Structure 1
Protein backbone atom coordinates (compact mmCIF):
# COMPACT_ATOMS: atom_id res chain seq x y z
CA UNK A 1 0.00 0.00 0.00
CA UNK A 2 1.57 3.33 -1.01
CA UNK A 3 2.51 5.68 1.79
CA UNK A 4 0.07 8.51 2.32
CA UNK A 5 1.23 12.01 1.48
CA UNK A 6 0.32 15.09 3.46
CA UNK A 7 -2.31 17.36 1.92
CA UNK A 8 0.12 20.27 1.54
CA UNK A 9 2.05 18.20 -1.04
CA UNK A 10 -1.06 18.10 -3.27
CA UNK A 11 -2.39 21.62 -2.82
CA UNK A 12 -0.63 24.54 -4.52
CA UNK A 13 0.61 27.19 -2.16
CA UNK A 14 -1.34 30.44 -2.36
CA UNK A 15 0.47 33.47 -3.74
CA UNK A 16 2.00 35.74 -1.14
CA UNK A 17 -0.49 38.29 0.17
CA UNK A 18 1.91 41.14 -0.63
CA UNK A 19 1.63 40.23 -4.33
CA UNK A 20 -2.16 40.41 -4.29
CA UNK A 21 -2.84 43.43 -2.06
CA UNK A 22 -1.86 47.01 -3.00
CA UNK A 23 0.78 48.63 -0.80
CA UNK A 24 -0.16 51.12 1.90
CA UNK A 25 0.94 54.12 -0.17
CA UNK A 26 -1.49 53.16 -2.95
CA UNK A 27 -4.33 52.61 -0.49
CA UNK A 28 -3.68 55.99 1.17
CA UNK A 29 -3.82 57.60 -2.29
CA UNK A 30 -7.18 55.97 -3.01
CA UNK A 31 -8.57 57.22 0.30
CA UNK A 32 -7.32 60.74 -0.55
CA UNK A 33 -9.09 60.59 -3.95
CA UNK A 34 -12.33 59.69 -2.15
CA UNK A 35 -11.80 62.58 0.27
CA UNK A 36 -10.99 65.27 -2.34
CA UNK A 37 -12.89 64.05 -5.40
CA UNK A 38 -9.80 64.93 -7.46
CA UNK A 39 -6.74 62.90 -8.40
CA UNK A 40 -4.62 66.07 -8.58
CA UNK A 41 -5.58 67.25 -5.09
CA UNK A 42 -5.13 63.72 -3.76
CA UNK A 43 -1.64 63.59 -5.27
CA UNK A 44 -0.70 66.87 -3.54
CA UNK A 45 -2.15 65.56 -0.28
CA UNK A 46 0.10 62.47 -0.26
CA UNK A 47 3.12 64.34 -1.65
CA UNK A 48 3.49 62.93 -5.18
CA UNK A 49 2.97 64.30 -8.69
CA UNK A 50 -0.29 63.82 -10.56
CA UNK A 51 1.32 61.59 -13.24
CA UNK A 52 2.75 59.42 -10.46
CA UNK A 53 -0.70 59.25 -8.83
CA UNK A 54 -2.33 58.24 -12.14
CA UNK A 55 0.29 55.54 -12.64
CA UNK A 56 -0.25 54.21 -9.12
CA UNK A 57 -4.03 54.02 -9.56
CA UNK A 58 -3.67 52.20 -12.91
CA UNK A 59 -1.28 49.77 -11.25
CA UNK A 60 -3.85 49.10 -8.50
CA UNK A 61 -6.56 48.53 -11.08
CA UNK A 62 -4.39 45.98 -12.92
CA UNK A 63 -3.48 44.28 -9.67
CA UNK A 64 -7.09 44.01 -8.48
CA UNK A 65 -8.64 43.44 -11.91
CA UNK A 66 -11.33 46.10 -11.46
CA UNK A 67 -11.76 49.77 -12.40
CA UNK A 68 -11.49 52.02 -9.37
CA UNK A 69 -12.00 55.49 -10.83
CA UNK A 70 -14.19 57.16 -13.43
CA UNK A 71 -12.08 59.96 -14.88
CA UNK A 72 -13.61 63.03 -16.46
CA UNK A 73 -12.70 66.71 -17.06
CA UNK A 74 -14.63 67.54 -13.88
CA UNK A 75 -12.51 65.23 -11.71
CA UNK A 76 -12.20 61.64 -10.64
CA UNK A 77 -15.05 59.70 -9.09
CA UNK A 78 -14.89 56.33 -7.43
CA UNK A 79 -16.65 53.50 -9.22
CA UNK A 80 -18.89 51.24 -7.16
CA UNK A 81 -16.00 48.78 -6.92
CA UNK A 82 -13.69 51.68 -6.07
CA UNK A 83 -15.94 52.79 -3.20
CA UNK A 84 -15.99 49.26 -1.79
CA UNK A 85 -12.20 48.91 -2.11
CA UNK A 86 -11.80 52.30 -0.41
CA UNK A 87 -13.85 51.11 2.58
CA UNK A 88 -11.56 48.09 2.87
CA UNK A 89 -8.53 50.32 2.44
CA UNK A 90 -9.57 52.51 5.38
CA UNK A 91 -9.65 49.46 7.65
CA UNK A 92 -6.24 48.31 6.42
CA UNK A 93 -4.71 51.78 6.93
CA UNK A 94 -6.24 52.05 10.41
CA UNK A 95 -4.76 48.65 11.30
CA UNK A 96 -1.38 49.75 9.90
CA UNK A 97 -1.51 52.92 12.00
CA UNK A 98 -2.21 50.82 15.11
CA UNK A 99 0.67 48.50 14.13
CA UNK A 100 3.00 51.49 13.71
CA UNK A 101 1.95 52.97 17.06
CA UNK A 102 2.59 49.63 18.76
CA UNK A 103 6.00 49.29 17.11
CA UNK A 104 6.89 52.84 18.19
CA UNK A 105 5.89 51.99 21.74
CA UNK A 106 8.23 48.98 21.64
CA UNK A 107 11.05 51.19 20.33
CA UNK A 108 10.37 53.77 23.04
CA UNK A 109 10.50 51.06 25.71
CA UNK A 110 13.74 49.68 24.25
CA UNK A 111 15.26 53.15 24.02
CA UNK A 112 14.31 54.07 27.60
CA UNK A 113 17.12 51.94 29.03
CA UNK A 114 20.54 50.59 28.13
CA UNK A 115 22.27 47.79 30.02
CA UNK A 116 26.04 47.75 29.52
CA UNK A 117 28.43 45.06 30.76
CA UNK A 118 32.14 45.87 30.64
CA UNK A 119 35.40 44.42 31.82
CA UNK A 120 37.20 46.40 34.48
CA UNK A 121 39.71 48.46 32.52
CA UNK A 122 37.14 49.62 29.97
CA UNK A 123 34.52 50.24 32.66
CA UNK A 124 36.87 52.39 34.74
CA UNK A 125 38.92 54.26 32.15
CA UNK A 126 37.01 54.45 28.84
CA UNK A 127 33.28 54.04 29.40
CA UNK A 128 32.70 57.09 31.64
CA UNK A 129 33.55 59.48 28.79
CA UNK A 130 31.42 57.56 26.30
CA UNK A 131 28.45 57.47 28.68
CA UNK A 132 28.67 61.22 29.31
CA UNK A 133 28.56 61.78 25.55
CA UNK A 134 25.62 59.36 25.21
CA UNK A 135 23.77 61.23 27.95
CA UNK A 136 24.02 64.42 25.88
CA UNK A 137 22.53 62.63 22.85
CA UNK A 138 19.92 60.57 24.71
CA UNK A 139 18.99 62.33 27.97
CA UNK A 140 15.91 60.12 28.36
CA UNK A 141 17.82 56.84 28.35
CA UNK A 142 18.62 55.30 31.73
CA UNK A 143 21.97 53.50 31.62
CA UNK A 144 23.07 50.74 33.98
CA UNK A 145 26.67 49.51 34.00
CA UNK A 146 27.68 46.06 35.19
CA UNK A 147 31.46 45.74 35.63
CA UNK A 148 33.22 42.38 35.79
CA UNK A 149 35.86 40.35 34.05
CA UNK A 150 35.58 39.43 30.36
CA UNK A 151 34.11 36.00 31.10
CA UNK A 152 31.38 37.56 33.24
CA UNK A 153 30.57 40.07 30.49
CA UNK A 154 30.05 37.22 28.00
CA UNK A 155 27.79 35.39 30.47
CA UNK A 156 25.64 38.47 31.01
CA UNK A 157 25.21 39.04 27.27
CA UNK A 158 24.35 35.41 26.55
CA UNK A 159 21.95 35.39 29.50
CA UNK A 160 20.06 38.43 28.21
CA UNK A 161 21.18 40.59 31.14
CA UNK A 162 22.99 43.19 28.99
CA UNK A 163 22.44 44.88 25.64
CA UNK A 164 26.07 45.63 24.81
CA UNK A 165 29.37 44.44 26.26
CA UNK A 166 33.04 45.43 26.24
CA UNK A 167 35.84 42.90 26.74
CA UNK A 168 39.64 42.84 26.82
CA UNK A 169 40.55 39.23 26.04
CA UNK A 170 42.47 37.64 23.19
CA UNK A 171 39.40 36.83 21.09
CA UNK A 172 35.64 37.25 20.87
CA UNK A 173 33.94 34.88 23.35
CA UNK A 174 31.92 32.04 21.85
CA UNK A 175 28.35 32.97 20.99
CA UNK A 176 29.17 36.66 20.50
CA UNK A 177 29.97 38.96 17.59
CA UNK A 178 32.07 42.06 18.02
CA UNK A 179 34.35 44.75 16.70
CA UNK A 180 37.69 46.14 17.84
CA UNK A 181 37.25 49.59 19.39
CA UNK A 182 40.76 50.29 20.70
CA UNK A 183 44.18 48.83 21.43
CA UNK A 184 45.89 48.57 24.78
CA UNK A 185 49.26 47.51 26.18
CA UNK A 186 50.03 45.65 29.39
CA UNK A 187 53.00 46.91 31.38
CA UNK A 188 55.02 45.57 34.30
CA UNK A 189 55.09 47.90 37.30
CA UNK A 190 56.58 47.82 40.79
CA UNK A 191 56.79 50.11 43.79
CA UNK A 192 59.84 52.46 43.75
CA UNK A 193 61.30 50.48 46.63
CA UNK A 194 61.34 47.22 44.67
CA UNK A 195 64.70 45.93 43.39
CA UNK A 196 63.44 45.94 39.77
CA UNK A 197 62.98 49.72 39.96
CA UNK A 198 66.79 50.08 40.03
CA UNK A 199 67.64 47.65 37.26
CA UNK A 200 69.37 48.97 34.12
CA UNK A 201 68.43 46.24 31.64
CA UNK A 202 65.01 45.18 30.33
CA UNK A 203 63.30 42.30 32.06
CA UNK A 204 63.51 38.94 30.26
CA UNK A 205 60.20 37.12 29.65
CA UNK A 206 61.46 33.98 31.42
CA UNK A 207 62.32 36.02 34.53
CA UNK A 208 58.87 37.60 34.54
CA UNK A 209 57.25 34.20 34.12
CA UNK A 210 59.24 32.73 37.00
CA UNK A 211 58.45 35.57 39.40
CA UNK A 212 55.39 35.34 41.68
CA UNK A 213 53.19 38.27 40.59
CA UNK A 214 50.16 40.13 41.87
CA UNK A 215 47.60 39.04 39.27
CA UNK A 216 44.02 39.55 38.20
CA UNK A 217 41.80 36.49 38.52
CA UNK A 218 41.21 33.82 35.87
CA UNK A 219 38.60 35.01 33.37
CA UNK A 220 39.95 38.55 33.20
CA UNK A 221 41.22 39.82 29.85
CA UNK A 222 44.50 40.92 31.48
CA UNK A 223 45.15 37.41 32.81
CA UNK A 224 44.29 35.79 29.46
CA UNK A 225 46.78 37.96 27.56
CA UNK A 226 49.54 37.46 30.15
CA UNK A 227 49.01 33.68 30.29
CA UNK A 228 49.20 33.41 26.50
CA UNK A 229 52.26 35.67 26.17
CA UNK A 230 54.30 33.78 28.77
CA UNK A 231 53.17 30.25 27.90
CA UNK A 232 56.25 29.73 25.68
CA UNK A 233 58.53 31.04 28.45
CA UNK A 234 57.58 28.45 31.04
CA UNK A 235 54.16 29.82 32.01
CA UNK A 236 53.25 31.95 34.98
CA UNK A 237 54.59 31.07 38.40
CA UNK A 238 52.15 30.55 41.26
CA UNK A 239 50.63 34.01 41.93
CA UNK A 240 51.81 36.02 44.88
CA UNK A 241 48.28 37.41 45.15
CA UNK A 242 45.21 36.92 42.96
CA UNK A 243 42.77 39.85 43.10
CA UNK A 244 39.51 40.62 41.35
CA UNK A 245 39.93 44.31 40.56
CA UNK A 246 42.50 46.56 38.95
CA UNK A 247 42.35 48.96 41.90
CA UNK A 248 43.17 46.16 44.34
CA UNK A 249 46.11 44.97 42.23
CA UNK A 250 47.52 48.52 42.01
CA UNK A 251 47.11 49.04 45.74
CA UNK A 252 48.97 45.83 46.54
CA UNK A 253 51.81 46.75 44.15
CA UNK A 254 52.07 50.28 45.61
CA UNK A 255 52.41 48.80 49.08
CA UNK A 256 55.54 46.97 47.93
CA UNK A 257 54.01 43.49 47.97
CA UNK A 258 55.46 42.64 44.57
CA UNK A 259 55.33 43.28 40.80
CA UNK A 260 52.11 43.35 38.81
CA UNK A 261 51.11 43.54 35.15
CA UNK A 262 48.24 45.87 34.26
CA UNK A 263 46.79 47.91 31.42
CA UNK A 264 48.69 51.08 30.62
CA UNK A 265 45.29 52.82 30.55
CA UNK A 266 44.90 52.11 34.25
CA UNK A 267 48.30 53.35 35.36
CA UNK A 268 48.55 56.97 34.19
CA UNK A 269 48.10 58.62 37.59
CA UNK A 270 50.32 56.16 39.48
CA UNK A 271 53.15 56.41 36.94
CA UNK A 272 53.08 60.21 36.71
CA UNK A 273 53.16 60.47 40.52
CA UNK A 274 55.86 57.76 40.66
CA UNK A 275 53.87 55.68 43.07
CA UNK A 276 54.61 52.89 40.61
CA UNK A 277 57.55 52.45 38.24
CA UNK A 278 57.27 50.89 34.77
CA UNK A 279 59.79 48.11 34.07
CA UNK A 280 60.83 47.58 30.42
CA UNK A 281 60.49 44.02 29.15
CA UNK A 282 62.10 42.61 26.00
CA UNK A 283 61.12 39.70 23.79
CA UNK A 284 57.42 39.45 24.54
CA UNK A 285 54.38 41.21 23.09
CA UNK A 286 51.85 42.41 25.65
CA UNK A 287 49.48 44.30 23.37
CA UNK A 288 45.79 43.48 23.21
CA UNK A 289 42.62 44.52 21.44
CA UNK A 290 39.63 45.99 23.26
CA UNK A 291 36.30 44.94 21.76
CA UNK A 292 32.63 45.78 21.85
CA UNK A 293 30.59 42.57 21.77
CA UNK A 294 26.96 41.48 21.41
CA UNK A 295 25.09 38.17 20.97
CA UNK A 296 25.64 36.60 17.56
CA UNK A 297 22.99 37.70 15.07
CA UNK A 298 21.71 40.57 17.23
CA UNK A 299 23.39 43.71 15.97
CA UNK A 300 23.20 46.69 18.35
CA UNK A 301 20.17 48.94 17.87
CA UNK A 302 18.86 52.10 19.52
CA UNK A 303 20.98 53.36 22.44
CA UNK A 304 23.41 50.42 22.14
CA UNK A 305 24.13 51.34 18.52
CA UNK A 306 24.58 55.00 19.51
CA UNK A 307 27.01 54.09 22.31
CA UNK A 308 29.00 51.92 19.91
CA UNK A 309 29.23 54.80 17.43
CA UNK A 310 30.68 57.01 20.20
CA UNK A 311 33.62 54.60 20.50
CA UNK A 312 34.44 55.42 16.88
CA UNK A 313 33.17 52.13 15.49
CA UNK A 314 29.91 51.19 13.80
CA UNK A 315 28.21 47.79 14.30
Structure 2
Protein backbone atom coordinates (compact mmCIF):
# COMPACT_ATOMS: atom_id res chain seq x y z
CA UNK A 1 0.00 0.00 0.00
CA UNK A 2 1.23 3.57 -0.62
CA UNK A 3 3.09 5.42 2.12
CA UNK A 4 1.15 8.21 3.91
CA UNK A 5 2.07 11.64 2.47
CA UNK A 6 3.36 12.73 5.88
CA UNK A 7 6.21 10.18 5.77
CA UNK A 8 6.77 9.64 2.04
CA UNK A 9 9.83 11.95 2.00
CA UNK A 10 12.53 10.58 4.32
CA UNK A 11 15.08 13.23 3.31
CA UNK A 12 13.59 15.81 5.68
CA UNK A 13 13.47 13.29 8.53
CA UNK A 14 17.14 12.50 7.88
CA UNK A 15 17.89 16.22 8.15
CA UNK A 16 15.98 16.41 11.44
CA UNK A 17 18.06 13.52 12.78
CA UNK A 18 21.22 15.42 11.85
CA UNK A 19 20.01 18.47 13.79
CA UNK A 20 19.46 16.22 16.82
CA UNK A 21 22.91 14.65 16.44
CA UNK A 22 24.93 17.76 15.61
CA UNK A 23 23.09 20.31 17.69
CA UNK A 24 22.30 22.96 15.06
CA UNK A 25 20.63 23.49 11.72
CA UNK A 26 23.83 25.02 10.31
CA UNK A 27 25.95 21.98 11.11
CA UNK A 28 23.20 19.65 9.83
CA UNK A 29 23.04 21.64 6.59
CA UNK A 30 26.82 21.33 6.11
CA UNK A 31 26.65 17.57 6.72
CA UNK A 32 24.00 17.25 3.99
CA UNK A 33 25.84 19.51 1.55
CA UNK A 34 23.15 22.19 1.42
CA UNK A 35 22.93 25.79 2.58
CA UNK A 36 21.51 26.70 6.00
CA UNK A 37 18.54 28.56 4.43
CA UNK A 38 17.73 25.50 2.33
CA UNK A 39 17.88 23.28 5.42
CA UNK A 40 15.66 25.66 7.39
CA UNK A 41 13.16 25.70 4.52
CA UNK A 42 12.99 21.89 4.38
CA UNK A 43 12.43 21.65 8.13
CA UNK A 44 9.64 24.25 8.02
CA UNK A 45 8.00 22.31 5.18
CA UNK A 46 8.22 19.16 7.32
CA UNK A 47 6.56 20.95 10.24
CA UNK A 48 3.74 22.17 7.97
CA UNK A 49 3.27 18.68 6.52
CA UNK A 50 3.07 17.10 9.98
CA UNK A 51 1.19 20.05 11.55
CA UNK A 52 3.64 19.83 14.46
CA UNK A 53 6.37 22.08 15.88
CA UNK A 54 9.67 20.23 15.75
CA UNK A 55 12.21 22.99 16.52
CA UNK A 56 12.57 25.75 19.09
CA UNK A 57 14.15 28.62 17.20
CA UNK A 58 16.07 31.39 18.92
CA UNK A 59 18.88 33.84 18.11
CA UNK A 60 21.27 31.35 19.71
CA UNK A 61 20.18 28.53 17.39
CA UNK A 62 17.55 25.83 17.02
CA UNK A 63 16.91 22.82 19.25
CA UNK A 64 14.40 20.01 18.99
CA UNK A 65 11.14 20.32 20.90
CA UNK A 66 9.92 17.34 22.90
CA UNK A 67 7.69 16.52 19.94
CA UNK A 68 10.64 16.92 17.56
CA UNK A 69 12.78 14.58 19.66
CA UNK A 70 9.99 11.98 19.70
CA UNK A 71 9.52 12.23 15.91
CA UNK A 72 13.29 11.93 15.43
CA UNK A 73 13.37 8.74 17.54
CA UNK A 74 10.54 7.23 15.48
CA UNK A 75 12.15 8.30 12.19
CA UNK A 76 15.56 6.85 13.02
CA UNK A 77 14.60 3.24 12.22
CA UNK A 78 12.98 4.24 8.91
CA UNK A 79 15.97 6.33 7.81
CA UNK A 80 18.43 3.57 8.77
CA UNK A 81 16.32 1.04 6.85
CA UNK A 82 16.36 3.33 3.79
CA UNK A 83 20.16 3.64 4.09
CA UNK A 84 20.44 -0.17 4.24
CA UNK A 85 18.17 -0.49 1.20
CA UNK A 86 20.29 1.99 -0.76
CA UNK A 87 23.51 0.23 0.21
CA UNK A 88 22.05 -3.13 -0.82
CA UNK A 89 20.97 -1.79 -4.20
CA UNK A 90 24.41 -0.29 -4.78
CA UNK A 91 26.04 -3.60 -3.87
CA UNK A 92 23.80 -5.47 -6.30
CA UNK A 93 24.64 -3.02 -9.08
CA UNK A 94 28.36 -3.38 -8.38
CA UNK A 95 28.02 -7.17 -8.34
CA UNK A 96 26.05 -7.17 -11.60
CA UNK A 97 28.70 -5.03 -13.24
CA UNK A 98 31.47 -7.37 -12.10
CA UNK A 99 29.92 -10.37 -13.89
CA UNK A 100 28.85 -10.84 -17.50
CA UNK A 101 27.07 -13.79 -19.07
CA UNK A 102 27.21 -13.96 -22.86
CA UNK A 103 25.27 -16.38 -25.07
CA UNK A 104 26.57 -16.70 -28.61
CA UNK A 105 26.03 -18.83 -31.68
CA UNK A 106 28.91 -21.19 -32.22
CA UNK A 107 30.65 -19.35 -35.05
CA UNK A 108 30.75 -16.10 -33.07
CA UNK A 109 31.64 -17.89 -29.84
CA UNK A 110 34.55 -19.83 -31.34
CA UNK A 111 36.05 -17.43 -33.87
CA UNK A 112 35.17 -13.86 -32.87
CA UNK A 113 34.31 -13.57 -29.19
CA UNK A 114 37.67 -14.69 -27.77
CA UNK A 115 39.39 -11.59 -29.18
CA UNK A 116 36.50 -9.36 -28.13
CA UNK A 117 36.61 -10.73 -24.58
CA UNK A 118 40.37 -10.23 -24.33
CA UNK A 119 39.84 -6.57 -25.27
CA UNK A 120 36.98 -6.28 -22.78
CA UNK A 121 39.06 -7.79 -19.97
CA UNK A 122 41.90 -5.37 -20.67
CA UNK A 123 39.61 -2.51 -19.70
CA UNK A 124 37.80 -4.43 -16.93
CA UNK A 125 40.44 -6.62 -15.25
CA UNK A 126 38.14 -7.59 -12.36
CA UNK A 127 35.31 -8.73 -14.63
CA UNK A 128 34.18 -12.37 -14.55
CA UNK A 129 32.74 -13.58 -17.87
CA UNK A 130 30.73 -16.71 -18.63
CA UNK A 131 30.32 -17.60 -22.32
CA UNK A 132 27.65 -20.04 -23.50
CA UNK A 133 28.09 -21.41 -27.04
CA UNK A 134 24.65 -22.36 -28.37
CA UNK A 135 22.66 -22.33 -31.58
CA UNK A 136 20.96 -19.05 -32.48
CA UNK A 137 17.50 -20.11 -31.29
CA UNK A 138 18.85 -21.08 -27.87
CA UNK A 139 20.80 -17.83 -27.66
CA UNK A 140 17.54 -15.92 -28.13
CA UNK A 141 15.87 -17.98 -25.39
CA UNK A 142 18.70 -17.32 -22.94
CA UNK A 143 18.63 -13.58 -23.58
CA UNK A 144 14.83 -13.35 -23.36
CA UNK A 145 14.79 -15.28 -20.09
CA UNK A 146 17.47 -13.07 -18.54
CA UNK A 147 19.97 -15.92 -18.27
CA UNK A 148 22.37 -14.00 -20.52
CA UNK A 149 23.12 -10.27 -20.43
CA UNK A 150 23.71 -10.07 -24.18
CA UNK A 151 23.65 -12.50 -27.09
CA UNK A 152 25.16 -12.88 -30.55
CA UNK A 153 23.34 -14.65 -33.37
CA UNK A 154 24.05 -15.41 -37.02
CA UNK A 155 20.67 -16.32 -38.47
CA UNK A 156 18.97 -14.52 -41.35
CA UNK A 157 16.51 -12.74 -39.01
CA UNK A 158 16.52 -11.47 -35.43
CA UNK A 159 14.04 -13.41 -33.24
CA UNK A 160 10.99 -11.52 -31.98
CA UNK A 161 11.24 -9.80 -28.63
CA UNK A 162 14.83 -8.74 -29.23
CA UNK A 163 16.50 -5.53 -30.32
CA UNK A 164 19.72 -5.87 -32.26
CA UNK A 165 22.78 -4.25 -33.75
CA UNK A 166 24.93 -5.50 -36.63
CA UNK A 167 28.41 -6.35 -35.36
CA UNK A 168 29.92 -7.91 -38.47
CA UNK A 169 29.46 -10.02 -41.57
CA UNK A 170 30.31 -13.58 -42.48
CA UNK A 171 30.15 -15.80 -45.54
CA UNK A 172 29.08 -19.40 -45.64
CA UNK A 173 31.25 -21.75 -47.69
CA UNK A 174 30.43 -25.09 -49.28
CA UNK A 175 33.08 -27.64 -48.30
CA UNK A 176 33.93 -31.14 -49.50
CA UNK A 177 36.64 -33.72 -48.93
CA UNK A 178 39.60 -33.54 -51.37
CA UNK A 179 38.38 -36.64 -53.23
CA UNK A 180 34.81 -35.43 -53.73
CA UNK A 181 33.76 -34.77 -57.38
CA UNK A 182 32.91 -31.16 -56.54
CA UNK A 183 36.50 -30.53 -55.44
CA UNK A 184 37.51 -30.45 -59.12
CA UNK A 185 34.75 -28.09 -60.23
CA UNK A 186 36.49 -24.93 -61.39
CA UNK A 187 33.19 -23.20 -62.09
CA UNK A 188 31.71 -24.45 -58.86
CA UNK A 189 28.13 -25.54 -58.34
CA UNK A 190 24.72 -24.00 -58.87
CA UNK A 191 22.08 -23.22 -56.31
CA UNK A 192 19.91 -25.96 -57.79
CA UNK A 193 22.67 -28.54 -57.35
CA UNK A 194 23.28 -27.51 -53.77
CA UNK A 195 19.57 -27.58 -52.94
CA UNK A 196 19.22 -31.07 -54.42
CA UNK A 197 22.24 -32.56 -52.62
CA UNK A 198 21.98 -34.17 -49.16
CA UNK A 199 24.36 -32.36 -46.82
CA UNK A 200 26.10 -32.77 -43.50
CA UNK A 201 24.04 -30.12 -41.73
CA UNK A 202 23.63 -28.24 -38.49
CA UNK A 203 20.57 -28.91 -36.36
CA UNK A 204 17.29 -26.98 -36.55
CA UNK A 205 17.62 -23.64 -34.79
CA UNK A 206 21.18 -23.11 -35.99
CA UNK A 207 21.92 -19.75 -37.58
CA UNK A 208 24.06 -21.42 -40.24
CA UNK A 209 21.25 -23.76 -41.24
CA UNK A 210 18.73 -20.92 -41.21
CA UNK A 211 20.94 -18.75 -43.40
CA UNK A 212 21.48 -21.55 -45.90
CA UNK A 213 17.77 -22.35 -46.10
CA UNK A 214 17.01 -18.66 -46.64
CA UNK A 215 19.63 -18.44 -49.39
CA UNK A 216 18.28 -21.51 -51.22
CA UNK A 217 14.61 -20.89 -50.54
CA UNK A 218 14.24 -24.46 -49.25
CA UNK A 219 15.72 -26.91 -46.78
CA UNK A 220 18.21 -29.37 -48.34
CA UNK A 221 18.04 -32.97 -47.19
CA UNK A 222 20.46 -33.89 -44.42
CA UNK A 223 22.73 -36.93 -44.43
CA UNK A 224 23.70 -36.03 -40.86
CA UNK A 225 22.50 -33.33 -38.47
CA UNK A 226 25.29 -32.29 -36.13
CA UNK A 227 25.38 -29.76 -33.32
CA UNK A 228 28.78 -28.17 -33.97
CA UNK A 229 30.85 -26.80 -36.81
CA UNK A 230 33.82 -28.91 -35.72
CA UNK A 231 31.74 -32.08 -36.05
CA UNK A 232 30.60 -31.05 -39.53
CA UNK A 233 34.19 -30.45 -40.68
CA UNK A 234 35.31 -33.86 -39.45
CA UNK A 235 32.30 -35.61 -41.01
CA UNK A 236 32.82 -33.91 -44.38
CA UNK A 237 36.54 -34.70 -44.38
CA UNK A 238 35.83 -38.35 -43.58
CA UNK A 239 32.89 -38.95 -45.91
CA UNK A 240 31.33 -38.25 -49.28
CA UNK A 241 28.72 -35.60 -48.39
CA UNK A 242 29.31 -31.84 -48.66
CA UNK A 243 28.70 -29.42 -45.84
CA UNK A 244 28.19 -25.68 -45.45
CA UNK A 245 30.00 -23.80 -42.69
CA UNK A 246 31.29 -20.33 -41.89
CA UNK A 247 34.35 -19.23 -43.82
CA UNK A 248 35.84 -18.24 -40.46
CA UNK A 249 35.88 -21.88 -39.38
CA UNK A 250 37.89 -23.43 -42.21
CA UNK A 251 40.99 -21.29 -42.64
CA UNK A 252 43.32 -23.93 -41.19
CA UNK A 253 41.68 -26.86 -43.02
CA UNK A 254 41.85 -25.13 -46.41
CA UNK A 255 45.50 -24.29 -45.85
CA UNK A 256 46.25 -27.89 -44.86
CA UNK A 257 44.28 -29.34 -47.78
CA UNK A 258 42.03 -31.50 -45.59
CA UNK A 259 38.97 -29.68 -46.94
CA UNK A 260 38.23 -27.99 -50.26
CA UNK A 261 36.05 -24.90 -50.69
CA UNK A 262 33.59 -25.15 -53.59
CA UNK A 263 32.44 -21.91 -55.32
CA UNK A 264 28.70 -21.36 -55.41
CA UNK A 265 28.43 -18.20 -57.46
CA UNK A 266 24.66 -17.92 -57.70
CA UNK A 267 23.95 -18.63 -54.01
CA UNK A 268 23.81 -15.54 -51.73
CA UNK A 269 25.80 -16.91 -48.80
CA UNK A 270 26.71 -13.60 -47.14
CA UNK A 271 25.09 -13.05 -43.77
CA UNK A 272 25.12 -10.45 -41.02
CA UNK A 273 26.05 -11.14 -37.42
CA UNK A 274 23.91 -9.47 -34.76
CA UNK A 275 24.20 -8.64 -31.09
CA UNK A 276 20.81 -9.05 -29.40
CA UNK A 277 19.17 -7.96 -26.15
CA UNK A 278 15.56 -7.72 -24.88
CA UNK A 279 13.43 -5.12 -26.65
CA UNK A 280 13.44 -1.81 -24.82
CA UNK A 281 16.34 -2.68 -22.49
CA UNK A 282 19.59 -1.14 -23.71
CA UNK A 283 22.76 -3.05 -22.75
CA UNK A 284 24.51 -1.53 -19.72
CA UNK A 285 27.85 -1.90 -17.98
CA UNK A 286 30.10 -4.68 -19.34
CA UNK A 287 27.45 -5.75 -21.87
CA UNK A 288 27.49 -2.25 -23.36
CA UNK A 289 31.31 -2.27 -23.39
CA UNK A 290 31.39 -5.64 -25.17
CA UNK A 291 28.90 -4.42 -27.77
CA UNK A 292 31.07 -1.38 -28.43
CA UNK A 293 34.15 -3.59 -28.91
CA UNK A 294 32.28 -5.93 -31.26
CA UNK A 295 31.10 -3.01 -33.40
CA UNK A 296 34.65 -1.61 -33.68
CA UNK A 297 36.13 -4.99 -34.66
Q: TM-score, normalised by structure 2?
A: 0.80
CA contact (8 A) 2:25 2:40 kept: yes
Match of 2:163 among 160, 175, 178: 178
Match of 1:56 among 39, 42, 55: 42
Question: Is 1:252 paired with 2:238?
Answer: no
SS at match of 1:55: helix
CA contact (8 A) 1:178 1:294 kept: yes
SS at match of 1:218: coil
Q: CA deviation at 1:206?
A: 1.4
Compared CA separation, residues 50 and 227, structure 1 to 2 (3 A): same
SS at match of 1:311: helix
Aligned pair count?
295
Uncovered stretches (5+) of structure 2, i.e. residues with no partner: none
Q: Residue in 1 aligned with 2:153?
A: 167
Q: CA deviation at 1:94?
A: 0.9
CA contact (8 A) 1:180 1:289 kept: no
**Superposition pairs for residues 68-87 of structure 1, below 5 Å?**
68-87=54-73
**Superposition pairs for residues 1-315 of structure 1, below 5 Å?**
16-17=2-3, 19-21=5-7, 23-107=9-93, 110=96, 113-157=99-143, 162-174=148-160, 176-182=161-167, 183-201=169-187, 203-231=189-217, 235-255=218-238, 257-273=240-256, 275-294=258-277, 304=287, 306-312=289-295
Q: Distance in 2 between matches of 1:172 and 1:81?
A: 63
CA contact (8 A) 1:193 1:256 kept: no
Residues 94-129 of structure 1 deviation map (CA, whole Å, 9 limit, x = unaligned): 111222344345446655654433221121112222
Q: TM-score, normalised by structure 1?
A: 0.76
Q: Distance in 2 between matches of 1:23 and 1:236?
A: 63
Q: Distance in 2 between matches of 1:310 and 1:28?
A: 44
